[in-house]
Amino acid sequence: MSRMSVSGGEGRPSVVDRVFCVIESCAGSGRPLTLVDLSSRTGLPKTTLHRVCWKLVELGLLSHGPNGFEVGSKLFALGSMSPELRHLRAAAMPRLHELVAKTGWATNLAILAEGKALVVEEVYGAATRTMPRMVGGRLPLHATAIGKALLSGFSEPELDRLLGGGLLRPFTPQTVVRPNLLRDQIERIRVARVAFSHEEWTLGTSGVAGPIYRSARVIGAVAVVGEPNDSHMRQHAHYVRIAAARISQALDPSHELAAA
């Protein structure tokens, strides 16, 4: 994340800005952070960070251990209280378990958050237990199946703003970096209701995803993730399409299952 300006006057960050900056830094680190780490990441002085961090610990939003500060469980509890998110997760969980049973691959549920695919739920099978846990992680939209499924709900002006005119960021040699090629994929996703990624974000990992609809609007996506295998991906596409359609119907009974 970008360093926060600490200049005086009107440009000085507010207390809320500082608190959010600290929480976001801890949430995105993947490990506990010391005050020195946080100062380097946020640009805030250690005296300010000491005061902010210990207040957040007191409130339960951060926890502190021998290695530093990290996100507290209270933040997860607060986030889980979102009515829309709770409804989506409740509708999706049975389908995630079904997908694991049918495919043997890991499954993810994601929503759009700040231009990324935010993973809000996951289920792992016996064959995928060694894969990294992704709940709370933010994935690039253009380089993952679940992100492309979310992109299929964007309007053309929104895609214009997001993709721009230049090349997109490459994560692997397989990443689709030309906006026109990505647009072609998005158009196919809108018709077929299924998205693919072939080692585009991480080498050795591919995915199949389907958009989740409510009131004809894409509000999430479900995916299976596993080792690259074209025949398996084609087979899993059928299961993913059905799972996404059934989640959509659970959220909106008027949603048509015919597309599955």
Q: Are 14 and 113 part of one and the same domain?
A: no
pLDDT digits 0-9 by tens, 88-106: 999 999 999 999 999 999 9
Which of 163-167, 199-203, 207-211, 235-239 bottoms out in mean pLDDT, i.e. has the lowest? 163-167
CATH code where residue 178 lies: 3.30.450.40
Tokens read off for 171: 């994560």
Q: Are 18 and 63 part of one and the same domain?
A: yes
Total of domains in the chain: 2
- Provide CB contacts within 8 A for 74, sequence distance 6+: 59, 60, 61
Distance (Å, whole) CA 6 – CA 256: 53
Structural domain contains residue 20:
yes
Q: Are 36 and 127 part of one and the same domain?
A: no
With tokens 């900056």, the residue in question is 21
Structural domain contains residue 87:
yes
Distance (Å, whole) CA 190 – CA 212: 11
Q: Are 179 and 219 part of one and the same domain?
A: yes
Q: Are 103 and 67 part of one and the same domain?
A: no
Q: What is the pTM of this model?
A: 0.77
With tokens 């015919």, the residue in question is 258
Q: Are 127 and 246 part of one and the same domain?
A: yes
CATH code where residue 63 lies: 1.10.10.10
Strand-strand pairing, 106-113 and 68-71? unpaired
Final residue of a structural domain among 30, 57, 77? 77
Q: Are 119 and 166 part of one and the same domain?
A: yes
Under DSSP, is residue 222 helix (H, G, I), strand (E, B) or coil?
Answer: strand
Final residue of a structural domain among 35, 57, 77? 77
Structural domain contains residue 257:
no
pLDDT value for 129:
61
pLDDT value for 10:
52
- Provide CB contacts within 8 A for 258, sequence distance 6+: none
Cβ(68)–Cβ(34) under 8 Å? yes
pLDDT digits 0-9 by tens, 170-220: 999 999 999 999 999 999 999 999 999 999 999 999 999 999 999 889 999
Q: Are 44 and 144 part of one and the same domain?
A: no
Structural domain contains residue 187:
yes
Instruction: With a cut of 90, say whether residue 74 has pLDDT above it.
Output: no
Tokens read off for 229: 């295998």
Q: What value does the mean pLDDT of the chain take? A: 88
Distance (Å, whole) CA 174 – CA 159: 21
pLDDT digits 0-9 by tens, 5-36: 444 445 567 888 889 899 888 887 778 999 99
Distance (Å, whole) CA 79 – CA 81: 5
pLDDT value for 72:
85
Structural domain contains residue 2:
no
- Provide CB contacts within 8 A for 192, sequence distance 6+: 241
Final residue of a structural domain among 53, 77, 101? 77
pLDDT value for 254:
78
Give one DSSP letter per residue of 133-147, joined into a string. P-TT-EE-STTSHHH
For residue 200, the enclosing domain spans 82-251
E strand spans, the chain? 62-65, 68-71, 106-113, 116-123, 138-139, 195-198, 206-214, 217-226
Instruction: With a cut of 90, say whether residue 255 has pLDDT above it.
Output: no
Q: Are 96 and 183 part of one and the same domain?
A: yes
Q: Are 166 and 191 part of one and the same domain?
A: yes
Distance (Å, whole) CA 38 – CA 53: 10
Please report, as a single letter, which amino acid is at residue 208. Answer: V
Mean pLDDT of 58-66: 91
pLDDT value for 2:
46
